[in-house]
Chain A
Amino acid sequence: MLNTDTMGDTPHLLLVDDERSIREPLAQFLTRQGFRVTQAGDAEGARARMTAYAIDLVILDIMMPGEDGLSLTRHIRESGEIPVILLTARTEETDRIVGLEMGADDYVVKPFSPRELAARVKVILRRAAAGGVRQHAPESGSFAFAGWVLKSGERTLVDRDGVSVPLSTGEYNLLHALVTRPRQVLTRDQLLDLTQGREAAAFDRAIDNQVSRLRRKIEADPKAPDLIKTVWGGGYTLAAEVTRL
């Protein structure tokens, strides 16, 4: 049961993109994947359909003529908890970061694999159903913990001397999951779920391996870790105060 408002248990997606050449085949694909899909060609159409239907998730193109996707994201966030996945055409990070800051849950960069998009839609819907409220903390900004600063925009870790320590995608995703949930015990499955999806990386990577790599980078003594602690029979937890900068 994902959402009791919808007819049956088929999640209802709203797909907003001004490009028909993308929107229509994507809608067909998502329908085949078992979603109910409503389409809109602009922000105005999207608003109208959101009042007409109980939408479970919005897939939204950032670059649209007229009101753009970022502004619509803000509107959606102000009016409720409907998850948003952004479609971005740009390689630049700025749009994405702004989008995530405004409360979008995830993004994919064009050209994207429709299967991957479908997978992310399922992950976000599952999260929304599990928590009832949106679990996803805004991903942008910087997080300070134990003398380190994790900068999400640049995917870098900065030490107390201001030296950047670049992280691999897997390490970054794992650390990000930890710093956004300090002092929570996260099981390997939860971590896999939280770290997958950003890019195809880390799908099949053992979480344990990533943790030991991260420990080598941030722990004073990787053999006796103070920051990323192993919870017996559970998983991992970040034992540090985290301040959002």
Chain B
Amino acid sequence: MALLIAVALFLAQAINFGLLLQERRQARLDQATGPAVTRIVDADERIAAGKKIGGGGSWSRTRVLAASPIPPGAERLDDIERALRVALTDAGVKANRIETQVLPISPNDPRLRYVSQSRIERLLRAGAELVVAVERPDGQWIVLNIGWTRNDSTILWRLFAQTAILYGVVLVPLLWAGRRISRPLRRLATAARDFHPSTATEPIVESGPQDVRDVIVAFNALRLRVTAMLEEKDRMLGAIGHDLRTPLAALRVRIESVEDDTDRAKMADTIAEMNRTLDDILSLARLGRPSEPPTEVDLAALVDAVVEDFRDLGHSVGFEEADRLQVRLRPSPMRRALRNLIENALKYGKSAEVTLTATPREVVIAVCDRGPGIPADRLGDVFEAFTRLETSRNKETGGIGLGLALARAIVREAGGDIALENRDGGGLIARITLARH
């Protein structure tokens, strides 16, 4: 960005200089030829009238010589010669040959003795003199000297110097202004990316130009609205939970009067299942706003504890006690995620096998069953909480309820993921992968 501006500025400068150079050349040409022509015409007229040539200081004296003082092979200025010829022809002076030569001026030049100080300075600054020799038709040469600005080797330096100044004047404030805009924008982007309703963060400080400030104000307001909406959602869900649990509790009490034990047990199971679903809904909805911070946890003990709870309830869940495996996470949701996976395995496979493997980079908890598995094309769908509900009529192919969706949401919240895979020889493997820090 800054580089682009720098290149553009340099280019503009170069074009400007090109034009300037052109113009200067023209001006120098005019400046050189104008007085020279006047003096040649004047000398020519004097010669025609038989008058004496001369006058003026020794420096600028017009001389009449029999031969050109310019040695053949000297550096000649064709454009000057052409311009002189045109001007002389216009003035009605006939000229045979026109020759020019640029000579350096030395400060010790004896001719400078009679020249005023300011003129010397001007001549020395120009650095050279131009000798013009014009051959009259009679073979005599009118010769004169004029000041000549030396070739433009300094002009390149001036180009660089000017560009540097331009950079200083334009590029620096431009970059500063750019930073002033981009810094708050970058902060805003970071804040938007890291925005998590559960973590109460300070609003972003309003800074930068007005437009950027407006965006920040809008973002801060949006954040407050989102947080308020989520809080409202939590309150609503709490109310829903309470309102549904109370009638469920009433029902649970009332079924005790059912005489038939089998019937009563089935009713109790149904109520328990409804209650679990209700729990899942509440947990899923509350997941974005966790109440416990992540801590260092022995994951092997966590898996073992969850498995042990299932065994206590008489389920067949296999797990080899493993060595301590320290991971940073929120233990309660992770227990729940694992519980849901094991519950699912038990529901479809009657028994489950849990393994815990660790590599230096990640930890994998695999829950395997020997149930019917899931058709390959539906492996991804089973995580979707609501498509699940729609297709849950088709229980054989994986009507699983919210359990898996909740498990995945928990694991993702912890920075990991869950993948499902059909097992060789039948059954399903659910793999929780967690990164180690």
Q: Which residues of A contact B (CB under 8 A)?
A: 19, 21-22, 25-26, 28-29, 63, 89-91, 110-115, 154, 156, 161-171, 200-202, 205, 213, 216-217
Number of A-B contacts (CB under 8 A): 108
Q: Which residues of B contact A154 (CB under 8 A)?
A: 292, 331-332
Complex interface: chain A residues within 8 A of B301 (CB): 165-167, 217
Q: A171 touching B305 by the CB < 8 A rule?
A: yes
Add 5 more A-B contacts to A19-B250, A89-B249, A168-B305 (CB < 8 A): A29-B256, A91-B279, A165-B297, A168-B312, A171-B308
- A113 and B298 form a contact (CB under 8 A): no
Contact call B305/A110, Cβ cutoff below 8 A: no
- Chain B interface residue count, Cβ-Cβ cutoff 8 angstroms: 43
Q: Does B296 contact A (CB under 8 A)?
A: yes
- Chain A residues with Cβ below 8 Å from B312 are 168-170, 201-202, 205
Question: Is B275 part of the binding interface, using a Cβ–Cβ cutoff of 8 Å?
Answer: yes
What per-residue 1/0 map shows which CB atoms of B283-316 lie under 8 Å from chain A? 1000000001001111001101111110011000
User: B331 to A164, Cβ gap below 8 A?
Assistant: yes
A112 with B308: CB separation less than 8 A: no
Alpha-carbon distance A111/B307, docked complex (angstroms)? 25
Question: Which residues of chain A are near B282, meaning CB under 8 Å?
Answer: 91
Q: Are B253 and A166 in contact (CB under 8 A)?
A: no
List 21 A-B pairs, Cβ < 8 Å: A19-B246, A19-B249, A22-B246, A25-B254, A28-B257, A29-B256, A90-B241, A91-B279, A91-B283, A111-B251, A111-B275, A115-B256, A154-B332, A156-B331, A163-B295, A164-B296, A166-B306, A167-B301, A170-B308, A170-B309, A170-B312
Contact B245 A166 (CB under 8 A): no
A163:B296 contact, CB within 8 angstroms: yes
Q: Tell me, in angstroms, the Cα distance from A123 to B351 when the chains sit together.
A: 34
In the assembled complex, B223 has its CB within 8 A of some CB on chain A: no
Nearest-CB residue, chain B, relative to A168: B308
| B252 and A111 within 8 A (CB) | yes
A200 to B313, CA, bound (A): 8
Is B268 among interface residues, defined by CB-CB distance under 8 A? yes
Name B309's contact: one of A25, A164, A165, A168 (CB within 8 Å).
A168
Residue of A nearest to B271 (CB): A111
Beta-carbon nearest neighbor of B326 in chain A: A163
Residue of A26, A111, A161, A202 ringed by the most chain B CB atoms within 10 A: A111
Q: What is the distance, in angstroms, from A113's C-beta to the closest C-beta of chain B?
A: 7
Whether A166 and B335, one on each chain, are in contact in the complex, defined by CB atoms closer than 8 angstroms, is yes
The answer to whether A163 touches B298 (Cβ under 8 A) is: yes
Q: Is the CB of B296 within 8 A of A110?
A: no
Q: How far is the CB of A91 from chain B (nearest CB, A)?
A: 6
Query: Shortest Cβ distance from A213 into chain B, in angstroms?
Result: 7
The answer for the CA separation of A202 and B324 in the assembled complex, in Å, is 25
**Nearest CB to that of B335 among chain A residues?**
A166
Bound together, the chains give a CA A168 to CA B296 distance in angstroms of: 18
B242 touches which of A63, A114, A156, A202 (Cβ 8 Å): A63
A114 touches B252 (CB 8 A): yes
The CA-CA distance from A112 to B308 in the complex, in Å, is: 23
The distance in angstroms between the C-alpha atoms of A167 and B256, with both chains bound, is: 33
Q: Is the CB of A114 within 8 A of B256?
A: yes
Chain A, Cβ-Cβ closest to B275: A111
Tell me the complex Cα distance, A112–B298, Å. 32
**With A and B bound together, what is the CA distance between A26 and B326 in angstroms?**
46
Known pairs A110-B246, A113-B268; A213 contacts B252 (CB<8 A): no
In angstroms, how far is the closest chain A Cβ from the Cβ of B248?
A: 5
Report chain A residues within 8 Å CB of B304.
168
Q: Are A89 and B242 interface neighbours, CB within 8 A?
A: yes
Please give the distance in Å from B19's CB to the nearest CB on chain A. 75
Q: Which residues of A contact B214 (CB under 8 A)?
A: none
